[in-house]
Every structure is written in structure tokens, then in C-alpha cells.
């Protein structure tokens, strides 16, 4: 049988074996232990074995492999017959079985027995019907014809409303049996196996697998969880169409060259180049892809959209906002892709209480606005209706049904208006442009747009809430800083007022004059620092190493001329901490000032600076009036709580907040009539780490 062996047969049966094996593996994974599913798996496995043995014969040329392949061919037919009979005898939708002839099962057994006998006759050389080859061909032809009979019986037994599920299977097996009828009839007539027909048999059988997969996905009662992706159908159809197109171009080029004489070869090259160029233009055309998707959705699927894929696509488009597209542009693109629109614009509520265009994609900027309390805005909020402007222009909807604003009627390229509603609030609306291809806007499209619109509205609502929260935090930080600055200005004004009162008595005293100039210079420096902080030129959270000893000495020096109470400084070693120097001086000065205010002229205030392990300890102690435990616990460190007539109640609050911000602690021990003690502990600066941070910053 060397005459039927060729490279075509090797590739044909190798391809069939691999594809059947992969499809069988997929069916095994998707199988849910059903009888019909098991028969389908068996037919596919038998087909894979038959193709594999046929490939081995095509490679080696050993006749016994051809005979073994023929035997597995009979097993494959037996599995397909069993699968078809199982489908024929399955109960109807109401649970009852359809009255069918009783001959399919015994008939199938008889045909399979005859086919197996024909294979054995061919193997042993018994000429039952002419030659052994003709005997084998006759029994195989009978099996193929019986397969067509079973297939016709199955198709007639299925109700017309359910034939949608078995039609791909009928086409697949009908083509498979018809091809075999052709092969065996030719063999029976001419007493030889046609080499070309036998060689391409593997390819022909493999082409039926996609149709079987489609039927398996349409019939869940076969207990398979098989699904055909819309993307696979789209790309497969596009690829098949491209191949058919190139085949037509190649055929036209061949005949042009054959009949074109001297111009034939030149015209062939021009035609092939022009055809390839036209195919590239069509393949890259968004309108063509849109028309193809709509065509496939209408004629190949019960629902137009794969909702799982569409939901994931919309979520992905919104979640990657900022990667080249703003959130508004991402929303427009996500909604436009659902209905094959090239783009559009989004109108969101602005600070003026109206809706203005905030983002656009392939759409010019329009300056028109829609007021929040307009009739159109209320209509979108109350009805949640997707407005189809094309229906209004075509007269399929009455203008009285939609209270459209005047600016909409003047824009012919506008198509759909999708409301964006979140938590009962109209966040805005999206205007989509006319699609690339005509799209039937039915209930399914409207529901999908509403779903995507609500999802987009939630993103916009969160974005607006985040922006409002950020703005509120900025105002809160500014107000807090302003309160601290006003508090310090109050203290500076108090120092200037006290100095002016003392100037009447001591204006001729040279020492007082020198102290007055130092005080004015100190106040001027402090006020400049406060203004710089308020203008954010010097961030108050910037930290640098600060020596505590000179800082405390400056505080004591600034208080000395205004208070007759002596302030004693004890210990005072050189200890650095990481802090903002002016802010740390301010809060320590406030604690010292409170101690002086609470102490009588005969009392005293002491400041002790020490070190405990890696912490600097600052102790401010006075012999003043003291505070009750309830006041310390409930009011001392609360903002705007004060016992002073001219106080603001934020000095102690700021001191505690900043000490905690630096990683330290502040504790108070006080007793009414016995004085108060403030203990402040701050981490000592690590010069090596600080130097490394400064090096990185530089």
C-alpha cells in the first residue's frame, strides 16, 4: 500500500491525533459523570487512537498497522453510534420518552459486527465480496450509511425549538459520515484506495471537532461544562474569512496569469499585492470589526454579550485610570466599547451646581452646561433612562417623552445619553457618539449600559468624595496651623504690651533700653518665622538636630525681663533631639509661661535637663497654684479648653500633639496648692542616621 503513503497523510493523521487527544483531555476535565458525556469521550479517544495508528502506518508503511487502524475505526464508529442512540433515547423536556423505532440498537450492533467481520476478512485475505479489499470497503460503506440514518433519526426526533443545540453536531457527524461514504464508495467501485482521499481523511475528521464542541457547550444535559468564548469565535471567524479571501485572490491571480498572456505575471503580482493591502486595511478597520462582532452576536449566540467578560472589561478599564487616560476618559472608553461607539464625553457636577463637560474622547469640547435642577437632570435621575437620540431623530420616539435641553438638538453626532447615578444622586451623564456600525439598541444593550453607568458613577462618587476629603484636610491643617500661629502672636503681642507699660517708668534706663531692643528683635524674628510657616515656606514638620541647652537658655532669657519670678536651670548638658527648632521652642516656652503665670511673686520655677538612656528628659516644675486631677485628666490637653480670661486653650494641646509626633511622651503631676510638674521625654538624635538621610536627600 505504499502508493497511498505521502507527506500529506503523515501530517494529516498526526494533526488529527494531536487535536483529538487535546479535545479528549479537555472533555475529561469538563466531564460531570454523565452517561452521554462518557460516550462522547469514548468516541473522541477512539478517534485519537485510530488517527495515531494511521499516522504510524503512514510513517512506517507496515500493512498490519493499517489493519489495526481499520479495527480501531470500527471501535470509533461503535462509540459514535452509542452516543447517537443515547441522544435519541433521552427523555424530553417534560420527562417522558419519545416513541421511537426499536431497531437502532440491534441495527447498530449488527452493522458494527459486519464491519468488524469485514476488517478480519481483509486482514486474513478472505474474498467474501469479490476481493478482500472490496469486502472491507462494502462493510465500511454500510457502517457510514447507517451512521447517516441514525443522524437523520436523531435530528427528526429533536423538537424544532431544541434543534439549535444539536445542529452543529449533526453537521459535524454528517460531514464525517459523508466523507467516509465517498472514500469507501470510490474504493468499492475501483478496487483500490484513492491516495488523496485517504491522505486528507485525518484533516477532514479534525475539522468537525469545533462543531462538536459547540454542541457540547449548548447542551448542558450532556453534563459537560464546555463553553465557547466569544473572542475565540470572533478571531476564528476573522481568520477563516481572511484565509478564504486570500484563497480567492490567489485563485484569481492564477487564472489571470494563465489567461493573461504577456501581461499575466505582472497582473498577478499587482492583484496579489492589492488584495493583501486591502485585507490589511479591512483587518485594521474598527468599523469592520464592529460589524463582524454584531453579526456573530446576532447569529451565533443566544445573548449578545458575554456578561462576565464585559463586566471584567469595564472594571479593568476603570481600575487602570491614570495609565495614560484620566478617569473620565476611561469611563467614556469603557461605555463606548460596549456599543461600538468611537468615543464621547462625560458631564459631571461642578462647583456651580451644574453639569459641565469634564472629559472627552474623540469628541470636541462643548462649553454648554446643564443645571442641576433642570427638567432634563430630574428626568435622568427619576427615570434612570438611557436616551436614544437616534430614535428621536428617526421619529420612533416622541420628543415629548424626553425633556431634552436645547443644546442637544444642535449636535447631530450625539447618539446615546447614559445617566451616572450613585446612591440616588445624579453624579453626571455620558454622551456617546454615533457608532461605527448600526447597532440595535434593545433591552439587553440598555441594561448593560445602565449597569456600566452605575459602576462608573460609583467611581466618580468616590473620586469626588476623596477630593472633598483632601480639600477638607487641607483646610483643617491650615486652620490648625493658623490657630497655633494666632496663639503665638497673642503671646508676642502680650510681651510688646508689657514692654510698653514698663517703658513709661524705665525708658531712661540704658539696661531697659537694651532689653527692649533685644525683645523687639526677638519678636520680629518670631513673627517672620510664623509668617513663613503660614505661607508654607518653612514646613513645620521638617526636623533637624536641635541642641536643647541653648534653646532652653533662650526661653529663660526671653521670660526674664517680663517676670520677676526667678527661673532656675539645672543640669543642662548638651543633648540633641530631632525637631523643628522654632516649634519646639514655642511649646516649651508655652509650658514655662504657664508655670510662671501660675506662680506667685514669692514662688519659683525650675527647668531640669537630663538624659536617661536614649531619651532627653526636660522637667519644668513650679510652686504655683497647681491643678486638680480631674482638670488634668479631662480639660488640660483638650483644644479650646482654658481657665484664662484671654487664653485660647490650644497651647497644652499643641505641646502634647507635637511631643507625640516626635515619638516622645509628656506627663503631668499636679496638686492644688502644691504646684505642677511637667515631664517631657524626647528621643535623642542619631547623628549617623540623620547624616545618611541628609546624604540621600542631597
205 vs 223, more confident? 205
Please give the full DSSP string across 596-619, using - where no structure is assigned: HHTS-TT--EEEEEEEETTEEEEE
The pLDDT, as a whole number, for residue 234 is: 55
pLDDT band at 554 (very low <50, low <70, confident <90, very high): confident
Judged against a pLDDT cut of 60, whether residue 672 lies above it is answered with yes
* Mean confidence (pLDDT) of the chain: 77
Cell numbers standing for residue 187 = 474504493
In this predicted structure, the answer to whether residue 681 has a pLDDT above a threshold of 80 is yes
Phi-psi region of 667 (alpha: psi -120 to 50; beta: other; left: phi over 0): beta
Q: In Å, how far are 482, 618, 681 from 615, measured between CA atoms?
A: 31, 10, 6
Reported confidence tier of residue 401, pLDDT bands at 50, 70, 90 = low
Q: Which of 301-310, 353-362, 608-617 has the lowest mean pLDDT?
A: 301-310
Q: Can you tell me the mean pLDDT for 2-21?
A: 79
Distance, CA of 528 to chain centre: 51
303 band by pLDDT with thresholds 50, 70 and 90: low
pLDDT band, residue 698 (cuts 50/70/90): very low
What is the CATH topology of the domain spanning 2-228? Rhopdopsin 7-helix transmembrane proteins (1.20.1070)
191, 131 Cβ separation under 8 angstroms: yes
- Report whether 555 contacts 585 (CB < 8 A): yes
Q: How far is CA 436 from CA 141, 210, 281, 415, 551, in A?
A: 52, 30, 15, 11, 74
**Fold of the domain spanning 539-697:** Heat Shock Protein 90 (3.30.565)
**What pLDDT was estimated at residue 3?**
47
Q: Where do the structural domains in the chain lie, given as residue ranges?
A: 2-228, 539-697
Instruction: Report the C-alpha gap between 244 and 129 in whole angstroms.
Output: 43
250 falls in which pLDDT band (50, 70, 90)? low
**Structure confidence by residue, pLDDT tens digits, 201-213:** 888 888 888 888 8
Q: Locate the DSSP E strands across 239-298.
A: none
3-state per-residue secondary structure call for 322-346: CCCCCHHHHHHHHHHHHCCCCCEEE
Q: What is the pLDDT of residues 54-97, one digit of tens each?
A: 888 888 888 888 888 888 999 989 998 888 888 887 665 444 44
What tens digit of pLDDT does each residue of 116-172 get? 888 888 777 756 555 788 888 888 888 888 888 888 888 888 776 667 778 888 888
Domains 2-228 and 539-697 share a fold: no
Q: How far is residue 604's CA from residue 592's CA, in Å, rounded to a whole number?
A: 11
Q: What is the structure's pLDDT at 1? A: 47
Q: Could you report the per-residue pLDDT of 340-387, keeping only the tens digit for each?
A: 888 899 989 876 778 888 888 888 888 788 888 888 888 888 888 888
Amino acid at each position: 500500500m505504499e502508493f497511498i503513503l505521502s507527506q500529506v497523510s503523515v501530517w494529516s493523521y498526526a494533526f488529527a491525533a494531536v487535536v483529538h487527544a487535546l479535545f479528549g483531555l479537555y472533555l475529561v476535565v469538563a466531564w460531570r459523570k454523565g452517561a452521554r458525556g462518557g460516550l462522547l469521550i469514548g468516541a473522541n479517544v477512539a478517534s485519537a487512537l485510530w488517527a495515531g495508528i494511521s499516522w504510524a502506518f503512514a510513517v512506517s508503511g507496515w500493512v498490519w498497522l493499517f489493519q489495526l487502524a481499520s479495527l480501531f475505526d470500527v471501535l470509533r464508529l461503535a462509540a459514535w453510534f452509542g452516543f447517537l442512540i443515547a441522544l435519541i433515547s433521552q427523555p424530553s423536556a417534560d420527562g417522558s420518552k419519545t416513541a421511537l423505532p426499536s431497531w437502532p440498537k440491534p441495527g447498530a450492533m449488527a452493522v458494527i459486527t459486519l464491519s468488524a467481520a469485514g476488517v478480519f476478512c481483509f486482514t486474513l485475505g478472505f474474498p467474501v465480496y469479490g476481493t478482500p479489499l472490496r469486502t472491507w470497503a462494502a462493510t465500511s460503506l454500510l457502517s457510514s450509511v447507517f451512521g447517516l440514518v441514525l443522524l437523520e433519526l436523531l435530528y427528526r426526533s429533536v423538537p424544532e425549538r431544541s434543534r439549535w443545540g444539536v445542529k452543529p453536531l449533526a453537521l459535524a457527524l454528517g460531514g464525517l459520515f459523508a466523507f467516509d461514504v465517498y472514500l469507501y464508495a470510490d474504493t468499492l467501485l475501483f478496487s483500490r484506495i484513492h491516495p488523496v482521499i485517504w491522505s486528507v481523511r485525518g484533516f477532514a475528521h479534525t475539522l468537525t471537532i469545533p462543531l462538536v464542541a459547540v454542541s457540547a457547550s449548548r447542551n448542558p444535559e450532556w453534563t459537560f461544562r464546555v463553553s465557547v468564548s466569544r473572542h475565540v469565535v470572533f478571531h476564528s471567524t476573522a481568520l477563516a474569512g481572511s484565509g478564504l479571501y486570500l484563497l480567492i485572490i490567489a485563485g484569481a491571480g492564477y487564472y489571470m496569469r494563465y489567461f493573461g498572456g504577456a501581461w499575466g505575471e505582472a497582473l498577478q503580482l499587482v492583484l496579489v499585492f492589492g488584495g493583501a493591502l486591502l485585507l490589511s486595511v479591512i483587518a485594521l478597520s474598527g468599523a469592520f470589526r464592529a460589524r463582524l462582532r454584531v453579526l456573530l452576536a446576532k447569529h451565533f449566540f443566544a445573548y449578545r454579550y458575554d456578561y462576565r467578560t464585559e463586566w471584567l472589561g469595564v472594571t479593568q478599564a476603570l481600575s487602570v485610570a491614570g495609565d495614560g487616560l484620566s478617569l473620565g476618559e476611561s469611563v467614556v472608553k469603557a461605555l463606548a466599547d460596549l456599543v461600538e461607539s468611537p468615543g464621547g464625553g462625560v458631564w459631571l457636577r461642578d462647583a456651580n451646581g451644574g453639569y459641565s463637560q469634564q472629559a472627552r474622547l474623540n469628541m470636541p469640547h462643548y462649553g454648554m452646561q446643564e443645571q442641576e435642577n433642570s427638567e432634563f437632570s430630574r428626568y435622568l435621575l427619576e427615570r434612570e433612562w438611557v436616551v436614544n437620540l437616534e430614535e428621536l431623530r428617526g421619529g420612533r420616539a416622541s420628543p415629548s417623552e424626553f425633556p431634552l435641553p436645547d443644546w442637544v438638538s444642535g449636535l447631530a453626532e450625539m447618539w446615546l445619553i447614559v445617566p451616572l447615578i450613585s446612591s440616588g444622586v445624579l453624579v453626571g451623564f455620558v454622551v456617546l457618539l454615533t457608532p461605527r456600525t448600526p447597532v440595535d439598541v434593545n433591552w439587553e444593550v440598555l441594561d448593560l449600559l445602565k449597569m456600566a453607568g452605575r459602576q462608573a458613577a460609583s467611581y466618580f462618587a468616590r473620586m469626588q468624595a476623596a477630593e472633598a476629603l483632601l480639600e477638607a484636610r487641607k483646610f483643617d491643617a491650615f486652620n490648625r496651623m493658623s490657630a497655633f500661629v494666632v496663639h503665638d502672636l497673642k503671646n508676642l503681642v502680650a510681651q510688646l504690651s508689657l514692654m510698653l507699660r514698663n517703658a513709661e517708668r524705665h525708658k531712661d534706663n540704658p539696661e531697659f533700653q537694651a532689653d527692649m531692643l533685644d525683645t523687639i528683635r526677638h519678636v520680629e524674628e518670631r513673627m517672620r518665622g510664623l509668617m513663613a510657616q503660614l505661607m508654607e515656606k518653612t514646613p513645620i514638620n521638617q526636623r533637624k538636630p536641635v541642641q536643647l541647652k541653648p534653646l532652653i537658655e533662650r526661653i529663660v532669657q526671653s521670660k526674664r525681663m517680663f517676670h520677676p519670678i526667678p527661673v532656675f536651670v539645672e543640669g543642662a548638658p548638651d543633648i540633641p533631639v530631632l525637631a523643628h527648632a522654632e516649634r519646639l521652642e514655642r511649646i516649651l516656652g508655652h509650658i514655662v509661661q504657664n508655670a510662671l503665670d501660675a506662680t506667685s511673686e514669692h514662688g519659683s520655677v525650675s527647668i531640669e535637663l537630663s538624659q536617661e538612656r536614649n531619651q532627653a528628659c526636660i522637667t519644668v516644675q513650679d510652686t504655683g497654684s497647681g491643678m486638680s486631677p480631674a482638670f488634668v485628666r479631662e480639660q488640660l490637653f483638650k483644644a479650646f479648653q482654658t481657665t484664662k480670661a484671654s487664653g485660647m486653650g490650644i497651647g497644652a494641646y499643641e505641646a502634647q500633639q507635637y511631643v507625640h509626633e516626635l515619638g516622645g511622651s509628656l506627663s503631668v503631676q499636679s496638686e492644688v496648692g502644691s504646684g505642677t510638674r511637667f515631664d517631657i521625654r524626647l528621643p535623642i538624635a542619631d547623628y549617623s542616621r540623620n547624616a545618611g538621610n541628609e546624604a540621600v536627600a542631597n
